[in-house]
């Protein structure tokens, strides 16, 4: 086959960001409503829409060459596939939670307790690592309700804002795993699929870099330029262009999202004016 086959979630937390990533990579998928398979005009890729739990198995079996799935599911399923890239979305953590009124003072609390979860493998690993013996009660959803209805003493489930725990009278007490969406690949890709994966990865990295950076334009009096340039890393070094008004320049540069607010404040203090911040669509270094 001359195409690379990718499996993504059919609907749920990862669907929108997975489709957006493909689109930002310039891959136009033509999917009719409710279709479980999509093709693309402008990249040799076929897209399968699946339950996220099934994606690692499909990738191990080479039904799909690559897939997008949460690390939580990837490590729970223990299938033969390889993580190739962290994708920066679907960020959450797999955590232990107990009733808000419980007096929790360490993992020993879990000794002899009943723990409800959708992640028995990861929970067992966590218990073994901490030498805790507890009973794991596997359920397939609505885990947060378990302590309230007497089904379990604690739960292990995904948390991001914490509002589901809060609404169910629970508190988060331990982190079992930090997770985000990852791109996984079959371990024995054919030469053509490997080549297409590398092309796709090149685009993903350009999109990720662009998302993590901003393009900054500002005006500055020429006598302040040395200090302002010192604050700006740029891809190589900042661009400096003269303004129509004598004695002033326009400075252009790229700033990482993480350092952004700190550096903007310092730029203002150093005499920068009219600071504009613009999103970057793609970034290739
Ligand atoms: N609250 C959250 N915030 C961010 N990411 C999350 C959150 N909850 C889950 N995720 C991530 O998104 C993945 C899919 O979550 P979702 O709740 O859609 O799964 P699901 O109900 O099992 O879906 P499916 O129908 O495909 O089996 C999770 O495995 C996890 O990696
Ligand atoms: O900490 P929070 O921001 O509240 O998020 C946590 C919730 O999000 C996920 O469920 P989701 O809403 O995806 O529904 P699901 O249980 O049907 O998968 C997860 O299973 C938690 O229940
Ligand atoms: Mg699922």
Q: Take atom 20 of ligand 1 and give the residue whose Cα is closest.
A: 12
Q: Which ligand has its closest atom nearest to the C-alpha of 90?
A: 1
- For ligand 1, which residues put their CB under 6 angstroms from it? 9, 12-14, 51-53, 70, 72-73, 90-92, 158, 160, 179
Position 258 scores a pLDDT of: 86
Q: For ligand 1, atom 25, which residue shows the shortest CA distance?
A: 51
- Pocket-testing residue among 52, 93, 172, ligand 1, by greatest number of atoms within 8 A of Cβ: 52
Tens of pLDDT, residue by residue, the chain (285 residues): 799 999 999 999 999 999 999 999 999 988 766 789 999 989 999 999 999 999 999 999 999 999 999 999 999 999 999 999 999 999 999 999 999 999 999 999 999 999 999 999 999 999 999 999 999 999 999 999 999 999 999 999 999 999 999 999 999 999 999 999 999 999 999 999 999 999 999 999 999 999 999 999 999 999 999 999 999 976 678 999 999 999 999 999 999 988 888 999 999 999 999 999 999 999 998
**Ramachandran bin of 162, using left for φ above 0, alpha for ψ from -120 to 50, beta for the remaining angles:** left
**Edge-to-edge strand list for the sheet holding 154-159:** 135-138, 114-117, 154-159, 92-99, 170-179
Contact 213, 20 (CB under 8 A): no
Q: Which of 10, 146, 159 best tests ligand 2's pocket when mutated (most atoms within 8 Å of CB)? A: 159
Q: Looking at the CA of 180, which ligand is closest?
A: 1
**What is the whole-number distance in angstroms between the Cα of residue 53 and the centre of ligand 3?**
5
ipTM rounded to 2 decimals? 0.96
Calculate the alpha carbon distances from 48 to 5, 93, 153, 246 in Å. Answer: 7, 26, 39, 59
CA-144 nearest atom, ligand 2: 22
Domains parsed from the chain with CATH numbers = 4-89+180-210 (3.40.190.10), 92-179 (3.40.190.10), 213-279 (3.30.70.120)
User: Which ligand is the nearest neighbour of the Cα of 177?
Assistant: 1
């Amino acid at each position: 086959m001359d195409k690379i086959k990718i499996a993504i979630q059919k609907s749920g937390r990862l669907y929108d960001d997975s489709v957006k990533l493909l689109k930002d990579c310039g891959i136009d998928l033509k999917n009719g409503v409710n279709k479980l398979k999509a093709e693309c005009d402008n990249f040799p890729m076929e897209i399968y829409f699946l339950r996220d739990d099934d994606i690692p198995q499909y990738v191990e079996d080479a039904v799909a060459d690559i897939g997008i799935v949460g690390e939580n599911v990837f490590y729970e399923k223990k299938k033969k596939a390889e993580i190739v890239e962290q994708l920066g979305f679907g960020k959450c953590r797999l955590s232990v939670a107990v009733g808000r009124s419980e007096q929790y003072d360490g993992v020993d609390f879990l000794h002899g307790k009943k723990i409800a979860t959708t992640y028995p493998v990861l929970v067992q690993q966590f218990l073994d690592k901490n030498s805790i013996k507890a009973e794991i009660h596997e359920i397939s959803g609505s885990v947060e309700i378990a302590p309230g209805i007497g089904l379990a003493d604690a739960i292990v489930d995904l948390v991001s804002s914490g509002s589901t725990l809060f609404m169910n009278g629970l508190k988060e007490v331990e982190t079992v795993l930090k997770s985000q969406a990852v791109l996984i690949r079959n371990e024995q890709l054919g030469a053509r699929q490997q080549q297409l994966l590398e092309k796709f990865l090149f685009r993903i990295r350009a999109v990720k870099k662009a998302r993590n950076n901003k393009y900054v334009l500002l005006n500055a009096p020429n006598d302040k330029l040395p200090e302002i340039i010192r604050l700006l890393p740029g891809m190589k070094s900042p661009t400096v262009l003269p303004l129509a008004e004598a004695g002033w320049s326009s400075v252009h540069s790229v700033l990482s999202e993480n350092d952004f607010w700190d550096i903007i404040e310092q730029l203002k203090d150093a005499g920068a004016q009219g600071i504009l911040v613009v999103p970057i669509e793609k970034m290739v270094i």
